[in-house]
Chain A
Amino acid sequence: MKVLIVDDAPTVRSLVKTTLEAMGITVLGASNGKEALDMAKREGFTLIISDINMPVMNGLEFLKAFRSFNRRTPFLVLTTESDPEKKEAAKRLGATGWIVKPFRPQDLSNVVRRFAR
Chain B
Amino acid sequence: MILAADAGNVLVWVVWVVAACACLGSGIAVISFSNPFFSALSLIGNLASLAVLYLLLSAEFVAAAQVLVYAGAVMVMFLFVIAYLGGRADAPWAGGPSWQAFAAGAASGALLVEVLVVISLKSSGRLTHEANIDSSFGSPARIGRLFLTDHLLAFEITSIVLLVAAVGGVILGSHSRNPSVDR
- Are A and B a genuine interacting pair, yes or no? no
